[in-house]
Amino acid sequence: MEKTRTLLLLLTSSIILFKLYLFPPTRSHGDLKLEPELELTNLNNNHAWPLLYANDVVSLNGKNFSEFMSKNRNVMVMFYANWCYWSKKLAPEFAAAAKILKGQAELVMVDASLEKDLAKEYYIQGYPTLYLFIGGVRQFQFFDERTRDVISAWVREKMALGTYSITTMNEAERILTTESKLALGFLHSLEGTESEELAAASKLHSDVNFYQTTSADVAELFHIHPKRKRPTLIFLHLGAGKATPFRHQFTRLAIAKFVNHTKHPLVLTLTIQNAEFIFQDPRKQLWLFAPAYGSDKVISTFEEVAKALNGKFFQLLHVYVEMNSEGVGKRVSQEFGISGNAPRVIAYSVRDAKKYVLNGELTLSSIKSFGEEFLEDKLLSQSDQISESILKLPSQSEASYQLRTHE
């Protein structure tokens, strides 16, 4: 009996110590010298206090949590228990922070002592626990001073950080189903130089969400080839089913330039991920075949053409094939019957499988008029531009089948 009492005493005092450790009083409040356990008892009679904040703070439960998360990008969640002194103490500061952050972030309260499933899903082990969710994914836990100013500045700082981490497959899947355009860095570490370069690049693109991961499984789910070395990056335009891998040095400028170019591509670079999408695109297509290296001039000329014909964007797709790159570029060039290193421009109409090659020098004006005549169906009459022997185009299904099975 004596032994049990001692054990019990030990247990309760360690719980109190544990609670003090987990829920320390905020530094700025001098009025918190009362014994926490006394305060807890007083609060037992007063469970309705969360209602006081209903005007500023959203209340969520297990039934409406997910839907709210999928509709709101920046959400700070306070998991609380209404008998908890520190939860009650935090609530007015939290509600004030909600006012400060109005229009930028949503502040949410969840009674974790009632919502057991949510508490379990987010490993809530103490009250209150504060998390910032971004894009429906829990990203940061708040440990700082629990005042309106510190909370709101912290949320703003995290939101402006630009890069968010993905650590689990659940998060990855949620992001893939809610985002439309994003960049994902596959890094050695979520902190340090690589992460800083990525974050710096992200600040130049407020219209693209940047993520980072160290998980090979997550990277693969985002179409990063398992053999790609870290650090690397992929740009996904999920709406269009396009994935564009980054193949340059991992610096902020190179990343920013790549994203600049990829988010509104005038010219699509053919990759294993977008090949099927391109082969099925019903638009007329202008293809440039050129080696990956030493073709800067002809590629930028091709981009100039794309820019000049951009008014006709919905009629004409510009595709660039790295003709000697291992993987898709080389194979598609072979399938098109194109050899050597000389750049070539080809017009291809998916709908009727007609194709034309541009003979002569590749200049801005020659490619541009070739494209315009193609759009106006004028190339039809110029049978001398059709060269079946040079051009052997695979059928759509054959091409995508072969692309899929070879990689």
Contacts of 174 (CB under 8 A, 6+ apart): 70, 135, 136, 137
Answer positive or negative: Cα dihedral of 317, 320, 323, 329. Answer: negative
Residue placing its CB nearer to ligand NAG in the complex, 13 or 251:
251
Q: Distances in Å between the alpha carbon of 391 and those of 279, 368, 387?
A: 16, 21, 6
Q: Which phi and psi (to 5°) does residue 25 adopt? A: -65, 150
Does 134 bind ligand NAG (CB under 6 A)? Our answer is: no
Residue with smaller CB distance to ligand NAG, 58 or 161: 58
**Which CB, 12 or 59, lies closer to ligand NAG?**
59
Closer residue to ligand NAG, CB minimum distance, 121 or 388: 121
> Cβ(49)–Cβ(87) under 8 Å?
no
Nearest to 143 by CA among 134, 135, 156, 132: 132
Is there binding between residue 228 and ligand NAG (CB under 6 A)?
Answer: no
Tell me which residues in 247-276 interact with ligand NAG (CB under 6 A): 253, 256-257, 260
- Residues touching ligand NAG, count (CB under 6 A): 11
Q: Which of residues 344-373 bind ligand NAG (CB under 6 A)?
A: none
**CB nearer ligand NAG, residue 15 or residue 253:** 253
Binding mask 147-176 for ligand NAG (x = CB under 6 A): ------------------------------
Least distance to ligand NAG, CB of residue 183, Å: 13
Give yes or no for a contact between 357 and 385, defined as CB atoms under 8 angstroms apart: yes
Enter the tokens of residue 62: 């297990």
Could you say whether residue 64 binds ligand NAG (CB under 6 A)?
A: yes
Distance in Å, CB of 26 to ligand NAG, minimum: 28
Q: Please give, one letter per residue, the 3-state secondary structure of 237-276.
A: EHHHCEEEECCCCCCHHHHHHHHHHHHCCCCEECCCCCHH
Asked if 68 touches ligand NAG (CB under 6 A), the answer is: yes
Per CB under 6 A, the list member of 6, 42, 46, 59 interacting with ligand NAG is 59
Residues in contact with ligand NAG by the rule CB under 6 A: 58-61, 64, 68, 204, 253, 256-257, 260
